[in-house]
Amino acid sequence: MQAKAVSRFNMLSARKARLVADLVRGKGVEEAVHILALTPKKAAPIIQKTILAAVANARQVDERVRVSDDEFVVSEIRVDEGPTYKRIRARAQGRAYRVRKRTSHISVIVRADSGDAS
């Protein structure tokens, strides 16, 4: 059994979020949540919430199958670039610099390692 969760338009750059995503790729959900709880990055709670949402989606799909949290594995996690918001920052002598506010989309797929899973 597998399920997907997507968190879109996160106000952090994809490059910085990928550093955190690489820490939990292929790990069990419990271990991934513990790692993210102790990671001092802005992306950590966002990725943690997305992983837990994917687990909740898996339980919602088939309520008859009882799967514990330690049987789920983060099989795929992908961080893509979202749209870039452009803002103006005033500078000296009437000039203006462009500030790029980068966003990202985080996709997580969790898979259950139970014997009856498809």
pTM: 0.86
Task: Give the count of domains, the chain.
Answer: 1
Domain hosting residue 84, numbered range: 2-112
Residue 117 placed within a domain: no
Indicate which CATH number applies to the domain containing 73: 3.90.470.10
- Taking residue 92's Cβ as centre, other Cβ atoms within 10 Å add up to 5
Residue 73 placed within a domain: yes
Residue 67 placed within a domain: yes
Rounded (10°) CA dihedral 114, 116, 117, 118: 150
Nearest to 77 by CA among 56, 2, 62: 2
Residue 6 placed within a domain: yes
| Tens-digit pLDDT string for the chain (118 aa) | 889 999 999 999 999 999 999 999 999 999 999 999 999 999 999 999 999 999 999 888 777 767 777 789 999 999 999 999 999 999 999 999 999 999 999 999 999 876 554 4
Residue 60 identity: Q
- Cα distance between residue 98 and residue 22, in whole Å: 30
Residue 69 placed within a domain: yes
